[in-house]
Structure 1
C-alpha cells in the first residue's frame, strides 16, 4: 500500500476548536519524535470484560498481551470506564510493565504528553470521538473494528488522520496475512480468469441475550454516563452492559459489524475494490432469540461492486443437532469464497484450497497464519509506522477501515429501512440475481433446519440504497431516511466534530 497524501481524501471540515469536555491538549499538538532506540509509549483504552457472557475475553485485554510481544512498544497507561476492569489490568501490569498510569476518563490519556500512541478497544459508538481526539492531541491510533459506528463518523475519522498527519490503523488483522496476500496476487493475475463474485461467510452460533421488563442497573464500578458518551444516556434495557452492546442499534452494528467486517474486508481486498459499493441491499432478521437484542442475527447482504459483487452471509441461529447445523457453502462455514470464471478459492488466513468450476480440488493452500501471529504482525506494522511516519507500513490504514465499515453500514441501513415480506415476495424481487437468490434459499433452508419458518416469521426485505461516494451521502430512493440513519445526534460534550482542512 502506497503512502496516502494528507490532502487526498476529503473536503469536509471541522470547527476551529474542540467542543467542551475535549482533551486540554489542543489540536495541532506536535508529537514527540520517537528515537531509533526508544520504545513507542502506548496507552490502551478499553480493556474489556474477560468474563462477559457471550464475549471473547475482552478485546483490550487480548491486545495488551500482543503488545507485550512487540519489542518496539511499551505500555505506559491503561484506561477503562469500569474501575474493576482497570484494577484487573493494572494489577497484571505490575508483573510486566511495573507502574503504569491508570485512568477511568479517556480524556486524561489525551492530555498526557508522555504517550505517543493509543490502542482503542472501546464499544463502537466511541470509536470516532476517541480517534479524533487522539489525532488532535498528536497521538497515533490503532482502533479496533469496525472502524466507525456510522458512515459520517468514518469520513471524519479519515479526515482527522489526514489533517493532523497521524498514523491510524484499524484492527482488521487479516490484512497482515501473508497467505491471503499470496493467494490474492495469484487471483488478480488471472490464474482462474476474471472474478465473478466474492462471498463472505460468518456461520457462528450465538445465544440470545435475554429480555427484561424494566431497566437494570449498570455495574456499580462503571461511570455509565461516560460509558454512553456520544450515544444517548438511556436506561439499560438488557441484563448485561458489557459485550451485549453489539446487538443494540444505539451502540453497536450487529454481527455484520462485529465479525462480518473481517470477511467483508478480506473480500474487498481480493476484489481490489478501494471504494464504497455504489449500492447495497439486505435480507434478514432477528430470529429465534426473543430477546432484548435489536440487530439482525441472520442476514444476506449484497454489496453491488462491479464487475464482481460481494455477498455477505450472517447466520447465528443454531439449535439443530448433528454436524454443521447452520450449513456450509462450498465446504465453508466461515471465511471467504472468491468465485472466478475458471474456479474459486475457498478458505481464510489459516489456509484453504483452489477448486475448478466443478468443485474438484486443484491445490491445497496450507501453511497459513495463526490469529496470534497476524495480530502481532498487525500491531508491529502500526508501531513501525509510528516510527517511520509512513502509511506504507500500515496494512489497514484509516481509509481502508472506513471503506470496509461503510459496507456494513450500507447493509444495515437497508435492513433498518426494510419491511417484512413473504419468501415468495423476496424471491420475486431478487429473481434476476442468481447468486443472491441462491444465498437466500440456502439461508432459508438453514433457518428451517433450526426451527424457523419464514412463512410464519417473515424476513425483512431491505430496499436498494445508493451511495454517492464523493459526497458520502445516500441519493435516490430512500435517501432522506438512509442519511438520517448515517449521522447520529450527539450529547454534549461528546460531540463528534466535522473536520475541515484535511
Structure 2
C-alpha cells in the first residue's frame, strides 16, 4: 500500500455493510465498505461485493490517489491517470517472489531456524493486519439501519461517500437488494491510539474488548 512508512496505524476507522440475499447463518458480511484515516491525512478505503447476480463482474482492483490529482489503477498491471492527459500504462519491475510465496518462506524459515528467511517479521505482519482488524471491529459494533444511500456516515470525507455510493448502487441495482426493506450494519467511528494500540473515546471499552480474547486459564 502507499501509506507513508512513518504512519504506524490508523487513528480512526469505520465500516458499513451486510450479508444480503443469502439465507444462512453466516455472520461475515458479503458486502462491505470501510475506511481508515491516518494521522497525516492519508486514508485506506476497502470494499468487498460478493453477491453473485446477473451481469456480476468479478474485480480485484486497487486505486492509488496522488497529491497532484493523479490516480493509479489496476491489479498486477497498472495505469496512471494524470489530470487532463491520456491514461498511460506504467512499466514496473516485477517484485521478487520467494518459492512458495509468503507461506512457503515462513515454513522454510521455521525448518531452518533462521527468521531472516521469512519475507517479513512478526511486527511487520502485525502492522499490516491492524488496519483490517480496526475496520472489522467497527462493523462488529454496528447498529442496524435501513438499506439506503443515507446509511453511510462519513462526515466531510467526500471520497469515502463517493466510494460507498458506488458500492450501494451495485448492491441495489445489480444484486437487487430492495431499498428500505433490508438493513445495513453501520459501524461507529472508532478512535485508535497508534502508540498504545488501544481504542479511545466513544465505544472504547467495547472496541478494546475485541482486540484480544481472554487468555486460557494457566497462560
Aligned to 2:208: 483
Aligned to 1:275: 8
Q: Which one has the bigger strand percentage?
A: 2
1:409 aligns with 2:133: yes
Q: Which one has the bigger helix percentage?
A: 1
Q: Structure 1: give runs of 5+ residues left out of the alignment.
A: 1-266, 328-332, 498-502
Is the CA contact 1:353–1:365 (under 8 Å) kept in the aligned structure 2? no
What are the within-5 Å matches in structure 2 for residues 177-326 of structure 1?
Answer: 267=1, 270-273=2-5, 274-305=7-38, 306-321=40-55, 325-326=56-57
- Between structure 1 and structure 2, the one with the greater Rg is 1
1:343 aligns with 2:70: yes
1:435 aligns with 2:167: no
Partner SS for 1:438: helix
1:354 aligns with 2:80: yes
Q: Structure 2: give runs of 5+ residues left out of the alignment.
A: none
Partner SS for 2:156: coil
Is the CA contact 1:444–1:454 (under 8 Å) kept in the aligned structure 2? no
Residues 407 and 454 (structure 1), Cα distance of their counterparts in 2 relative to 1, 3 Å cut:
farther
Note the C-alpha offset of 1:336. Answer: 1.6
Residues 381 and 296 (structure 1), Cα distance of their counterparts in 2 relative to 1, 3 Å cut:
closer
Note the C-alpha offset of 1:376. Answer: 3.1
Is the CA contact 2:15–2:136 (under 8 Å) kept in the aligned structure 1? yes
Deviations 1:253-280 (A, max 9, x none): xxxxxxxxxxxxxx2xx22345111110
Is the CA contact 2:80–2:88 (under 8 Å) kept in the aligned structure 1? yes
Q: Distance in 1 between matches of 2:31 and 2:91?
A: 30
Residue correspondences, number: 213
Residues 326 and 446 (structure 1), Cα distance of their counterparts in 2 relative to 1, 3 Å cut:
farther
Q: Distance in 2 between matches of 1:402 and 1:296?
A: 23
What are the within-5 Å matches in structure 2 for residues 68-217 of structure 1?
Answer: none
Q: Distance in 1 between matches of 2:84 and 2:99?
A: 35
